[in-house]
């Protein structure tokens, strides 16, 4: 029977749409899950959404929706993005799922029977945004949340408490006896310091709102709902069928949680204490990564600089985006997103490094041996290079198993440099001129084998790119091949074939830069107010016109973009690019009236197409173009 591995992301809170931080966490977890499958482990990978709590109740009310309607909408956006990104999850959980409610109520009853839950009264400072209580000494400026800076409110209400203090010594023992239970080490030291400072019992129910899971009927206390974090953390058990008695609970024996540093305390203190109370094994690893800034600045709605992962992937390619996120920053530290840095990595490391190596091998095998690559003599002549590459790949595996994704990729690129360096060093073209065709072909075989090893070990991070490399060399990436050419350091023979360049060079930034915020919007709100509110003066700057689609065609090299010519009642039609190809048949668009954001700054897309506005649409899993009830004159203003 295969050894089992369980890998999780946090379940993402549905207070907003996905951003780069969500994508980073999910791509790390996806890479790790793909790697474990490549190694031959029986791997179960889950993600999902956290949908209860006062913040969701309030957000729904503002939007004139029920909490369930609002949660359905935002959860759908997360699932849609992960599907578009081809995230290889096995289960997508929602805390509004019926079986999750049963899990939480069942766990509450077990903890209560174990003597770990008691009823009392809570008075403290509560941050609605963070769903967290704080003491007076923890607050900033006497009343503000130490995590998000927003104003807290004093809450006094009846509550059930979990005896967190009871588990203080057991938690410290777990940290000390399990070197890699919390990673990286610096984060573990922070957690240990916090716990040694003394734990207080945790309020785990609320009575001031209704949007949550009620206590079990056996408690006979219907006014209480579960604390969001008790509810949320138990999702990891629901996924494996904790209350259903599923055999999937076998996966729990080897669990890895990937989380952001902002929720490490919940996963490294509360969660293991809950598990101890339930007499369940603790996670093998809780790995916490850092946050992202943009161009050196903190991201926020008010600054208009939040990185939309869908926009980046659409502009630069999903796998290029995956590579950048995994490569740019040491795991556990904060990272900075900039288009300049992304373009540099695509052109230099991916294009000039990996892409150039494949082109060289295809070109040389075409000229020297009609695409046939025989490795019979390779080990004899290039043993030193093969052994050096083997050490780099061992290091890459070790780094990925320690969640050091940047170092994992660094080690792989040492093999890329080794192969490209061998071509420059031994000059196979000179060998051919000297009549040493066998030596030249043996060098090509060395490079082809190094590239095959690269493709296999890189495939968890860039699956489609590596499949293209494997197809070009005539082999398939599998656990069998991983064991053969990575672990056992064996060589393959190849029959290569021509292929398109992997990484076309990018000359200019493909996304519009964030516009400068108005002076009134430059400060972050501190009172929890909706950051998306604008004034009437802001609205007056927006010019939306109605226009008729004159022409529409697909953009070469993109499966999402359409190029429109739209009559807005001006001297000549506007050219506008829009990523709606998968939602509409071209034949249905010509002659249709649409609403266009007409005073949007021009931008160049796909390096050569100017887009002179934005076609407005509404999306809820499908997509609908916005128009008017009846046909109006082209150029009519919407307002």
Binding residues for Zn(2+), by number, are 127, 130, 145, 148
Count other C-beta atoms under 10 Å from residue 618's C-beta.
9
Rg (CA), the chain: 28
272 vs 162: CA distance, rounded Å: 13
Check whether the bond before 597 is cis (ω within 30° of 0). Answer: no
Contact 437, 431 (CB under 8 A): yes
282 vs 263: CA distance, rounded Å: 17
- Segments of 209-326 assigned E as strands: 225-226, 255-260, 285-289, 292-294, 297-298
Dihedral sign (CA 400, 405, 407, 413)? positive
Does residue 499 come out as left (phi exceeding 0), alpha (psi in the -120 to 50 range) or beta? beta
Count other C-beta atoms under 10 Å from residue 31's C-beta.
25
Among 515, 507, 500, 513, smallest CA distance to 606 is for 507
Which residues contribute to the annotated binding site? Answer: 127, 130, 145, 148
Does residue 378 come out as left (phi exceeding 0), alpha (psi in the -120 to 50 range) or beta? alpha
129 vs 305: CA distance, rounded Å: 20
Q: Which residues are bridge partners to 605 per DSSP? A: 609
Tokens of 235: 């999702």
458 vs 482: CA distance, rounded Å: 11
Give per-residue burial for 85-98: e unless 16+ CB within 10 Å, then b.
Answer: bebbbebbbbbbbe
Sequence-distant (≥ 6) Cβ neighbours of residue 295 within 8 angstroms = 305, 336, 337, 338
Phi, psi for residue 166 in degrees, rounded to 5: -60, -30
636 vs 638: CA distance, rounded Å: 7
Count other C-beta atoms under 10 Å from residue 619's C-beta.
12
Sequence-distant (≥ 6) Cβ neighbours of residue 5 within 8 angstroms = 33, 36, 41, 42, 43, 44, 251, 254, 256
First CA to last CA distance, the chain: 65
Tokens of 600: 């949007």
**Tokens 């050490």, residue located:** 391
Bridge-based pairing of strands 255-260 and 4-13 is parallel
Dihedral sign (CA 510, 352, 415, 492)? positive
Sequence-distant (≥ 6) Cβ neighbours of residue 393 within 8 angstroms = 411, 412, 415, 453, 457, 486
3-state DSSP call for residue 226?
strand
Contact 106, 243 (CB under 8 A): yes
């Amino acid at each position: 029977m295969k050894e089992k591995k369980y890998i999780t992301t946090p379940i993402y809170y549905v207070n907003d749409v996905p951003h780069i931080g969500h994508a980073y966490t999910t791509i790390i977890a996806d890479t790790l899950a793909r790697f474990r499958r490549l190694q031959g482990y029986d791997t179960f990978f889950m993600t999902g959404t956290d949908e209860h709590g006062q913040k969701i109740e309030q957000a729904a009310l503002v939007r004139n929706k029920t909490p369930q309607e609002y949660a359905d909408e935002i959860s759908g956006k997360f699932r849609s993005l992960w599907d578009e990104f081809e995230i290889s999850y096995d289960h997508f959980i929602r805390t509004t799922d019926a079986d999750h409610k049963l899990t939480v109520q069942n766990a509450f009853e077990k903890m209560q029977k174990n003597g770990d839950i008691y009823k009392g009264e809570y008075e403290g400072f509560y941050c609605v945004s963070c769903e967290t209580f704080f003491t007076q000494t923890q607050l900033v400026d006497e009343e503000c949340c130490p995590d998000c800076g927003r104003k807290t409110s004093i809450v006094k209400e009846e509550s059930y408490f979990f005896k967190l203090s009871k588990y203080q010594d057991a938690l410290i023992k777990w940290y000390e006896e399990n070197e890699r239970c919390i990673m990286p080490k610096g984060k573990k030291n922070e957690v240990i310091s916090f716990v040694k400072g003394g734990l207080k019992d945790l309020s785990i129910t609320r009575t001031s709102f209704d949007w949550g899971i009620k206590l079990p009927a056996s408690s006979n206390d219907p006014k209480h709902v579960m604390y969001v974090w008790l509810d949320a953390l138990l999702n990891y058990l629901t996924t494996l069928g904790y209350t259903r008695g599923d055999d999937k609970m076998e996966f729990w024996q080897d669990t890895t949680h990937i989380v952001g540093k902002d929720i490490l305390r919940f996963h490294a203190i509360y969660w293991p204490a809950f598990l101890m109370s339930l007499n369940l094994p603790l996670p093998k690893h809780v790995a916490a990564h850092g946050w992202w800034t943009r161009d050196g600045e903190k991201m926020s709605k008010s600054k208009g600089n939040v990185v939309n992962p869908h926009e980046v992937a659409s502009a630069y390619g999903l796998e290029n985006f995956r590579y950048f996120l995994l490569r740019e920053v040491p795991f556990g530290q904060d990272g900075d997103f900039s288009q300049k840095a992304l373009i540099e990595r695509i052109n230099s490391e991916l294009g000039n490094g990996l892409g150039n190596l494949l082109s060289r091998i295809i070109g040389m095998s075409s000229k020297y041996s009609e695409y046939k690559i025989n490795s019979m003599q390779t080990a004899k002549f290039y043993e030193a290079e093969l052994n050096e590459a083997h050490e780099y790949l061992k290091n890459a595996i070790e780094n990925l198993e320690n969640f050091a994704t940047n170092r994992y990729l660094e080690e792989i690129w040492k093999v890329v440099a080794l192969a490209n360096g061998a071509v420059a060093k031994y000059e196979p073209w000179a060998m051919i001129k000297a009549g040493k065709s066998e030596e030249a072909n043996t060098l090509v075989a060395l490079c082809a084998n190094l590239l095959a090893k690269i493709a296999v070990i890189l495939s968890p991070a860039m699956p489609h790119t590596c499949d293209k490399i494997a197809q070009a060399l005539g082999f398939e990436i599998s656990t069998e091949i991983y064991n053969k050419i990575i672990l056992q350091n064996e060589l393959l023979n190849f029959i290569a074939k021509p292929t398109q360049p992997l990484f076309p060079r990018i000359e200019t930034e493909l996304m519009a830069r964030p516009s400068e915020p108005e002076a009134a919007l430059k400060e972050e709100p501190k009172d929890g107010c909706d950051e998306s509110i604008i004034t009437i003066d802001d609205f007056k700057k927006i010019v939306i016109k109605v226009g008729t689609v004159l022409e529409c065609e697909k953009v070469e090299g993109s499966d999402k973009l359409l190029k429109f010519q739209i009559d807005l009642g001006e001297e000549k039609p506007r050219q506008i690019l829009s990523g709606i190809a998968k939602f509409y048949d071209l034949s249905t668009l010509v002659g249709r009236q649409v609403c266009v954001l007409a005073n949007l700054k021009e931008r160049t897309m796909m390096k050569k197409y100017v887009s002179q506005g934005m076609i407005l649409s509404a999306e809820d899993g499908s997509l609908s173009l916005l128009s008017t009830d009846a046909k109006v004159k082209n150029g009519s203003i919407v307002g």
